[in-house]
Chain A
Amino acid sequence: MFKDFWSKHENIYYALTNKKVIFGLTIVALVFMLAAFGPMLTPYEYGEYAGEGYLPPSGDHFFGTTIDGRDVFTRTVYGLRSTLLVGAIAGTVATLVGCIIGFLAGYYGGSIFDELLMMLTNIFVVIPQLALLIVIAAFLEVRGVIIMAFIVSLTAWPWTARAVRSQTLSLKNQEYVSLSRISALSVGRILREDIASNMFSYVFMVFIQQFNGTMLATVQLEFLGLGPTKGISLGLVMQNAVNWNGIQLGMWWWAIIPGLILTILITALYFVNTGLDAAFNPRLREM
């Protein structure tokens, strides 16, 4: 029975036995676990004064304390939660919007509908992303985590739309689609087996990249002081560290550790991305 399952879903088998995927997923899982269970390991709240300031990492304060005595570990794990949440929401929204617009434009390729959608996309492509984000974020007085996610995804979807459109255009003109048509396959089966399945792995990877990209964009905004006005996030922790001259005062744990966690997470996701590419594309499989 297991054998049956694997022979039907060999893609999953190849994905789960790929070394890069295993390595990447393990690290991603660890970071997620840190975000999920980290708050339970600490007796403090993220805004609370936990003790003496200026303390390096120790058994009491895993990542040390800030200059005014807040626990960096607590702030980091709570911040990680909201940063991951922003990444997940913004990544999903950007991928969905990009895929829907791209697929429709590609499917009706060459029509006036396609032309209009692409005009809209191109307008968004040429708007400088960071400048627009700064303007929007500066105008909103109260910014929660969810609002942040939508602001970021507003500028993240266009390249996905363009890429998905060209993918759809080229896929629907492939000769194997013609072969399926003259084999009298139903339209549904052609869409599923010849177009969607060739696109699925691509969309999945787009999602991972959007997740990465939107997370980074959010941290950028937060670092500039345009983050959520309430709550905490990784970018805010780092911004505080810089505002209080943490680095110059030799408090490396304050800014470096949260940044390092983010870097590790993004690198791990890229590993998953390239590994999945090999797993989904038989041409890249080692055989």
Chain B
Amino acid sequence: MEKNNEIVMSVQGLSKVFKSGILNPEYTVAAKDISFDIEKGKIISLIGESGSGKTTVGKLILKLIKLSEGEIIYKGKNISEIEDKEETKEYYRRVQGIFQDPFATFNPLYRVDRVFDMIFDSFELGFEDKDQAIRDALYDVNLNPDRTLGKFPHQLSGGQLQRLLIARALLMDVDVLIADELISMLDASTRIGVLNLLVESCKKHGMAVIFITHDLNLGYYISDKSLIMYKGRLVERGDTKKIYENATHPYTQMLFEAVPEIGERWDPDEEFLPEQVVKDVKEFYQENEGKGFVEIEEDHSVLFSDK
């Protein structure tokens, strides 16, 4: 693999703590000390269980929530310093996201066309014919424009809404795309098609994609780099192949054991205890106390202890 790839965005020491309540504040650490680089045209998958802070990282990059510590550098500029209207616009012109829940992403009072109207209103996308561009993008994601445009969100299925959002992202031709649980709503037959379309777009336009997912198979299929998150910490980072071949952190190992395989049926005698992982991770941290985040081989780092 080539080194010295062009880095479009760099995330350094990112932390986010949520505070709730005033008289007795309760603090929730959603993400702690997360660092990684996003390279041009590369696909990164961010893998972790529900509540591990994956979506929070995505939202931080999209500037939807304020970060508590650390910085995100995009084109040499700290994004939390972007406050000016024009600059924000410029940022969103190049950094976009697709959210987890397609039903919630559409304002129920408006027809679905609004998501396209908004980007054409805000940005200079450089298409001669707006309608034709939208139709082409819809055909690309396997949707029939005549049967989707002009509909209300509740009249379409989750998969169709999801693909409308993908079409929207493709129209924008961005540098960084945050795709949160992108294909969870798509049926098996269109899944591969849409994935390939995205990969193709990455390679052609140099778009970097962060796939936020809990699906290891998908991560392996698509990504160049993987980030494994557990309880708000980045526990393993590096080249996808290296992580998959040499999973070191106990949580990552557990993830691999938990993947169901075709041709293998569920075994009632096999015990699977989620609590076991918590214990394993604790022991692992104790054994390696003081080591911290270490690069164990080229382009593969593991968190050995949480202090």
Q: Which residues of A are at the interface with B, using a C-beta cutoff of 8 A?
A: 110-112, 115, 174-176, 178-186, 193-194, 197-198, 280-283, 287
Contact = CB atoms under 8 A, between A and B. Distances in A.
Contact of A197 (B62, B85, B109): B109
A111 B85 CA distance: 26
Given A180-B118, A181-B64, A110 B105 contact: no
14 contacts: A110-B20, A174-B107, A175-B100, A175-B101, A175-B104, A176-B105, A178-B59, A179-B99, A181-B64, A182-B62, A184-B88, A198-B107, A282-B108, A283-B152
Contacts of B155: 287
B139 interface: no
Contact of B89 (A112, A184, A283): A184
Contacts of B108: 198, 281-283
A180 B99 CA distance: 12
Contact of B107 (A186, A193, A280, A283): A193
Interface stretch (B90-98, B130-138, B209-217, B260-268): B90-98
B115 A179 contact: yes
A110 B26 CA distance: 12
A186 B86 CA distance: 11
A113 B152 CA distance: 37
A182 B89 contact: no
Contacts, number: 68
A282 B152 CA distance: 7
A185 B110 CA distance: 15
Contacts of A287: 155
Given A115-B22, A283-B108, 10 more contacts: A175-B104, A178-B59, A178-B99, A179-B106, A180-B107, A183-B118, A184-B93, A186-B85, A198-B108, A282-B152
B109 A175 contact: no
A176 B22 contact: no
B24 interface: no
Given A110-B20, A179-B105, A283 B99 contact: no
B32 to A, nearest CB: 22
A280 B119 CA distance: 25
B119 A183 contact: yes
A182 to B, nearest CB: 5
Interface of B: 20, 22, 59, 62, 64, 85, 88-89, 92-93, 96-97, 99-101, 104-110, 115, 118-119, 121-123, 152, 154-155
Contacts of A183: 92, 115, 118-119, 122
A12 to B, nearest CB: 14
B101 to A, nearest CB: 6
Nearest to B23: A115
Given A175-B105, A176-B105, A198-B109, A282 B154 contact: yes
Given A176-B105, A178-B64, A282-B152, A184 B122 contact: yes
> Which of A181, A184, A193, A280 has most B Cβ within 10 Å?
A184
A233 B176 CA distance: 68
A287 B151 CA distance: 11
A281 B20 CA distance: 33
A176 B104 contact: yes
Contacts of B93: 184
A223 B180 CA distance: 60
B106 A176 contact: yes
- Pairs of residues from A and B, 9 with the lowest C-beta to C-beta distance, nearest first: A183-B118, A175-B104, A184-B122, A184-B89, A176-B107, A282-B152, A175-B105, A283-B154, A184-B92
Contacts of A112: 22
A194 B118 contact: no
Nearest to B91: A184
Contacts of A283: 108, 152, 154
A283 B119 CA distance: 25
Contact of A182 (B97, B106, B107, B121): B97
A178 B99 CA distance: 9
A212 to B, nearest CB: 26
A234 B118 CA distance: 53
Contacts of B101: 175
A217 B111 CA distance: 41
A165 to B, nearest CB: 16
Contacts of B121: 185
Contact of A194 (B92, B99, B107): B107
B110 A193 contact: yes
A287 B150 CA distance: 13
A119 to B, nearest CB: 11
